[in-house]
Structure 1
Amino acid sequence: MKKIVLSVFTIGAMIFATQNAQAQETETEEVEVIEIEVVEVEQDEFADLDVSELPQVIQDAIVTEYNDATVTKAWIKSEDEQTIYKLALDVKGDEKKVFIDQDGNWLENEEKEVETEK
């Protein structure tokens, strides 16, 4: 009697194990392939400039327009006999990026000013 019960139990276990194995084999996972296109972004042509090297005209324009502003970073770009400065200003705790030409004239943005010259 023990052998019959043990045989039935073993056969049941084998059937259960094979069903799980078959279920695992039939389930497949689909993998979606995503293509990534690399786009090169053209860097703006501004070169780093030490803040202490800013011309006096630029420093005066900053004091006139932004009374308590401090220049934290400066960049320079020369193009078609015009020099454009890109400045990072700390205005009462807020950082602001502005553009100014060599004569101390404020520019809305560098791209717009270059287009109007052409």
Structure 2
Amino acid sequence: MKKLGLTLMAAAGMFLFTQNAQAQVEDPEEMEQIEGVEEVQETKDDYKEVDVLALPQAIKDAVMTDMNGAVAEEAWVKEKDGKKVYKLSLNVDGEKKKAYIDSEGNWIEKEDK
């Protein structure tokens, strides 16, 4: 009886393992397409992602002061003419907005970026 129980448990374990292994197989062609999109996007605007918590204090203060109730969810940075320009994804009362700001906390209009 013990042998029958162990055999059934082993068979069930092998079945579950093979199902899990099949679910994790990825299509290499699909992965190349996704990677290609990310590379194009990265070179298109030259912004590199940064941690929101690592933003300069002047930017944090500007968001709190000028965008009442806004929360920075994502941030990117690029260097332009020797100055750092930050692109922020802000959540303003449940609505997502993009904003551009320099490292000193000065907002940048879209055409100036």
* TM-score (ref. length: structure 1): 0.58
- 1:91 & 1:80 partners in 2: Cα distance? 30
Q: After TM superposition, give the deviation of residue 108 of structure 1 in Å.
A: 1.1
- 1:63 & 1:103 partners in 2: Cα distance? 14
Q: Return the index of the structure with the highest Cα Rg.
A: 1
Instruction: Give the equivalent residue in structure 2 for 1:67.
Output: 68
SS at match of 1:60: helix
SS at match of 1:67: coil
Q: After TM superposition, give the deviation of residue 66 of structure 1 in Å.
A: 0.7
SS at match of 2:75: strand
Q: Which runs of 5+ in 2 are unaligned?
A: 1-39
Task: Report which of the two has the higher share of helix.
Answer: 2
Q: Show the 5 A alignment for 1:48-87.
A: 48-87=49-88
- 1:113 & 1:103 partners in 2: Cα distance? 16
- Deviation track 1:29-83 (CA, whole Å, cap 9, x = no partner) reads xxxxxxxxxxx88610000011110010000000111111111100000122111
- 2:103 & 2:67 partners in 1: Cα distance? 17
Structure 1 moving runs of 4+ over 3 Å: none
Instruction: Give the equivalent residue in structure 1 for 2:99.
Output: 98
% identity of equivalent residues: 41
Q: After TM superposition, give the deviation of residue 113 of structure 1 in Å.
A: 1.9
* TM-score (ref. length: structure 2): 0.60
- 1:78 & 1:100 partners in 2: Cα distance? 12
Q: Which runs of 5+ in 1 are unaligned?
A: 1-39
Instruction: Give the equivalent residue in structure 2 for 1:46.
Output: 47
Letter of the structure 2 residue corresponding to residue 113 of structure 1: D
Instruction: Give the equivalent residue in structure 1 for 2:25.
Output: none
- 2:69 & 2:47 partners in 1: Cα distance? 25
